[in-house]
């Protein structure tokens, strides 16, 4: 963990927070006797902290950008693929604690797991060092690097946001997503999500996480509309 702290330029006072941020639910479940906490709750907090810091930065940095453009850039910065790239830059995967099943199925390279771990790490920094520490980490390792890619058009395309912008032009249209099925064990699930337009199934997508499946459903919908 000392290597990771050097990389992210932050030293924890409470190393239990860092340990929790790096503990996947599969590892916690396989070691129940140790009463370990998984990083799921931290990921929930980290998602909100990152969203706030990103929105504040973009609002202050681009005073002339309309809301739609700011939304596109933020979505590109905080999406699963972007956070997966961040995890690679800081060498996060080698520090994760995964269960045997998750390890065997390639979980250490799974984008959804690594993206969640980045958010968990951000939350741990926030709880340990406050908003200034979280801001410094997020700016240096997530927001600024991914913003540059987003503006250059090299960031992951957010199909959900692109579709939402089209649908919003017609106020009578209502867009929603629902999980159609989950297949496989907990450590190797495949999700199928249906995209609903006015309560009717319009398209569907499959992925290793709900977020990925929703993106694929939105991508399929855009293709059907001739907008991809």
Closest CA to 85 of 114, 48, 108, 56: 114
Tell me: the pLDDT tens digits for 70-122? 888 888 899 888 899 999 999 999 999 999 988 888 888 888 899 999 999 99
Query: What pLDDT does 71 receive?
Result: 85
What is the domain range of residue 111? 2-151
pLDDT of 10 above 80:
yes
Tell me what the mean pLDDT of segment 174-180 comes to. Answer: 93
**What is the SS3 assignment for 21?**
helix
Structure tokens at 15: 């190393």
Does residue 88 carry a catalytic annotation?
A: no
* pLDDT of residue 227 exceeding 90: no
Q: Which of 103, 124, 151 is the last residue of a domain?
A: 151
Residues 127 and 91 reside in one and the same domain:
yes
State yes or no: pLDDT of 1 exceeds 70.
Answer: no
Last residue within a domain, chosen from 151, 170, 199:
151
Is there a single domain that holds both residue 69 and residue 129? yes
pLDDT of res. 156 = 56
Residue 154 pLDDT level (bands cut at 50, 70, 90): low
Judge if 140 and 169 occupy the same domain.
no
Provide the number of structural domains found in the chain.
2
Classify residue 62 as exposed, middle or buried by CB count within 10 Å of its CB (0-12, 13-18, 19+): middle
| 183 and 81, same domain (yes or no) | no
Tell the residue number behind the tokens 């801001």, with chain if given.
Answer: 135
Q: What's the DSSP call for residue 69?
A: H
Catalytic residue among 47, 80, 158, 194: 47
Residue 155 has pLDDT above 80, yes or no: no
- Identify the band that residue 169 occupies on the pLDDT scale cut at 50, 70 and 90: confident
Q: What is the pTM of this model?
A: 0.72
For 66-75, 107-116, 151-160, 188-197, which range has the lowest pLDDT when averaged over its residues?
A: 151-160
- Is there a catalytic annotation at residue 47? yes
- Catalytic residue selected from 30, 102, 116, 119: 119
The answer on 164 and 72 residing in a single domain is no
Residue 107: is it exposed, middle or buried by C-beta count within 10 angstroms (0-12/13-18/19+)? Answer: buried
pLDDT at 45 over 80: yes
């Amino acid at each position: 963990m000392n290597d990771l702290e050097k990389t992210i330029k932050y030293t924890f006072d409470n190393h239990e927070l860092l340990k929790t941020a790096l503990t996947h639910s599969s590892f916690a479940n396989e070691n129940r006797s140790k009463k370990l906490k998984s990083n799921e709750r931290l990921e929930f907090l980290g998602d909100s902290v990152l969203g706030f810091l990103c929105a504040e930065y973009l609002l202050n940095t681009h005073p002339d950008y309309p809301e739609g453009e700011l939304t596109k850039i933020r979505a590109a910065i905080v999406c699963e693929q972007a956070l997966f790239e961040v995890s690679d830059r800081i060498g996060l995967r080698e520090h994760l604690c995964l269960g045997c099943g998750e390890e065997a199925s390639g979980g250490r390279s799974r984008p959804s797991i690594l993206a969640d771990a980045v958010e968990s790490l951000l939350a741990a920094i926030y709880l340990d060092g406050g908003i200034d520490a979280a801001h410094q980490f997020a700016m240096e390792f997530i927001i600024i690097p991914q913003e540059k890619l987003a503006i250059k058009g090299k960031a992951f395309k957010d199909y959900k946001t692109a579709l939402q912008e089209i649908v919003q032009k017609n106020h009578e249209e209502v867009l929603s997503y629902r999980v159609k099925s989950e297949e496989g064990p907990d450590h190797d699930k495949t999700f199928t999500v249906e995209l609903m337009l006015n309560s009717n199934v319009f398209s569907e997508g499959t992925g290793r996480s709900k977020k990925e499946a929703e993106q694929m459903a939105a991508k399929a919908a855009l293709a059907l509309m001739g907008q991809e």
